Amino acid sequence: MNISIAVVIFLLTVFASISLNGIMRNIAKNNRWLIDIPDKNRKFHLTPTPVTGGIAIQIAMLTGFLALFFLADFTIQSEIRNLPLTSNSINDGDFHKKSLKLENSDQNEIFDLLISETQSNNESDFEVQLQGSDEVVEIKMLENGVFRVNNNGNFSDYVIENGNVVSLAGDVSESYKFSGSKPFEINKFVILFIIFGLLLQAFTLVDDAWGVNPKIRITFQVLLNLLFCLASGIYVNDIGFGIGNENIQLGFLGIPFTVFCVTGIINAFNMIDGINGLCASMVISALIGFIIITGLDVVNYAFVIAFGGIFGFLIYNLGVVGEKRRVFLGDNGSSFLGFFVAWACIYLSSAENNFFNPVTALWLVFIPFLDCMNVILQRMRRGKKLFSPDRNHLHHLLMKREINPLTVLSYIFLISLFFVFIGISLDYFGISASISLLLFLISGSIYLYFTQRLSE
């Protein structure tokens, strides 16, 4: 990941989010649509407030994603050609837009090459623009994936390995050397995430506007996640621990297990959205964990974009621009953010990526997951419906102790970060998944005991 590009993308997404939140808020106000009306039971805000934060965040994130096409190197995997929305112009092999530095060792000059691929038969010709020079360089990609550079009859061969350009040793000219950054990858999972995220957003907007029966909402989420699993081929198969030296493989049961987990996390983030900034801060704590775990990998662009979208929303949600200009996430926002975090956990812990053990994902969503579990257990014990609203969430229990909402938000955010750091530390130092799970269960039991005491 290029740090300077990441900073530009972050600032661009923040600006887009701030602008879009203001625009969507005004549209909702003027049309008296998607407005949360205060009551004397659970909604204690003083004035009717738009619930358009989720729409603005998602559009801002899409804006940041599209900006990457102009600012960063990218690779579009060839598997995308199988998607119905894909142009036939992408044939066999990957499409690369890659900025390479061409250094002339004799003249000590550096030029930027912007390469776009057009493919025919078994070879790929590249159009090359040497920025800052009138010099013409011809590049051809051979059948075996070798880049052959022809500079006025002076030939050099190179290959791309793990996103880096590597010179081939042998009878090739060394008058030019290449260096390049690893491009961000646009694969089938990324495209499908955008499509299914928009579908979830559309459904939850209907829920925010007119209300949807909870059973219908859960059924839709289950079907959506099931189709996502089947279309992307990404799901939890290896749960990260097992008996002896063999991890437990879920096989075909991995798909329903994944659907259950993602649906649960979506609703956990939705349920915890009870005070300003809380749901968004839980996502931020998870994003911090993702960024630390993945280091400077190009996947961080996605987390930088999400960070920017949420940051712009919090400007309104926390009243920075004025109490009367507040915006809420709504179900459309909290559900989408839960969807984002859940699928990020599954994607990063999958066998294809293997950034962390699947058990580590539990630590990244520690507070939303256990808060949801605690509320469900409380409702079952009292014989109440699972989806009936109440005031037994952690933030409600703390506010009953006359702690102001901003302090409650700070406490819960810091607690969440604490457990995120525990989880990623256990993973970083190679602690077995079984021990990590055991420590999670112990920590979770302490949390549940603490919340039970608070409710007394």
Do 319 and 63 meet the contact criterion of CB atoms below 8 Å apart?
A: no
Predicted local distance difference test score (pLDDT) of residue 246 = 67
Q: For residue 210, count other CB atoms closer than 10 A to its CB.
A: 7
d(CA 162, CA 169): 18
Q: For residue 400, count other CB atoms closer than 10 A to its CB.
A: 11
Q: What are phi and psi of 350, to 5 degrees?
A: -70, 160
Mean pLDDT, contiguous 10-residue spans, the chain (456 residues): 87 96 93 80 70 95 92 68 38 48 43 42 43 53 63 65 53 41 77 95 93 93 96 86 69 91 95 92 96 86 95 93 87 95 93 86 96 88 76 87 90 96 93 92 94 82
The model's pTM is: 0.82
Residues 313, 319, 322: CA angle, nearest 5 degrees: 120
Q: Which amino acid makes up residue 167?
A: S
Q: Parallel, antiparallel, or unpaired: how do β-strands 109-120 and 238-243 relate? A: unpaired
DSSP state of 38: P
Predicted local distance difference test score (pLDDT) of residue 351 = 72
Predicted local distance difference test score (pLDDT) of residue 453 = 84
Q: For residue 176, count other CB atoms closer than 10 A to its CB.
A: 19
Q: At what angle do helices 214-232 and 188-210 cross, to 10 degrees?
A: 170
